[in-house]
């Protein structure tokens, strides 16, 4: 936290449309808020219209949503599910890089 007096809790509005995920997010935010009680640090949420900061997990969300009923962030997802998601991200990245390389190659001809 350093010199900052706020922790910003960015959440994914698309994932939060799932009621079980929304419940898990609310519970986590409540716990984080309680943990900062009595300190000079406050928990804040940006406006829902503000886009999420990029991350590999959100790149995955472009491919498919969090499994129904998981209700938890990436760190709590079982290893086999996380591995499957990481493979999907790597595959999407590889596909993107190949298409970009093909476009560059065509431009050089």
Token pair for 31: 């716990």
Let me know if residue 95 belongs to a domain: yes
C-alpha span between 20 and 67 (Å, rounded): 10
pLDDT for 5 equals 84
Let me know if residue 44 belongs to a domain: yes
Let me know if residue 1 belongs to a domain: no
Let me know if residue 64 belongs to a domain: yes
Determine how β-strand 42-44 pairs with β-strand 6-8: parallel
Buried b (16+ CB within 10 A) or exposed e, 75-100: eebeeeeeeebeeebeeeeeeeeeee
Half-sphere exposure of 9 (CA within 13 A, CB side): 16
- Which range of residues forms the domain containing residue 91? 6-108
SS3 of 42, please?
Answer: strand
Global pTM reads: 0.46
C-alpha span between 66 and 9 (Å, rounded): 19
pLDDT in tens, 12-54: 777 788 888 888 889 999 998 898 888 888 888 888 777 666 6
pLDDT for 90 equals 82
Let me know if residue 102 belongs to a domain: yes
Looking at the structure of the chain, the number of domains it has is 1
C-alpha angle 66/69/73, rounded to 5°?
50
Q: Is the pLDDT of residue 1 over 50?
A: no
Most distant pair of Cα atoms in the chain: their distance: 65
pLDDT in tens, 55-104: 656 666 665 555 555 555 555 555 666 677 778 888 887 887 787 776 76
């Amino acid at each position: 936290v350093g010199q900052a007096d706020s922790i910003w809790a960015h959440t994914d509005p698309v994932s939060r449309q799932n009621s079980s995920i929304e419940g898990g997010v609310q519970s986590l935010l409540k716990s984080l808020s309680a943990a900062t009680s009595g300190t000079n640090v406050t928990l804040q949420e940006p406006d829902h219209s503000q886009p999420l900061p990029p991350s590999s997990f959100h790149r995955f969300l472009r491919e498919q949503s969090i499994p129904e009923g998981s209700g938890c962030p990436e760190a709590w997802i079982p290893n086999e599910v996380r591995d499957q998601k990481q493979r999907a991200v790597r595959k999407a990245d590889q596909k993107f890089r190949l298409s970009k390389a093909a476009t560059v190659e065509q431009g050089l001809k």
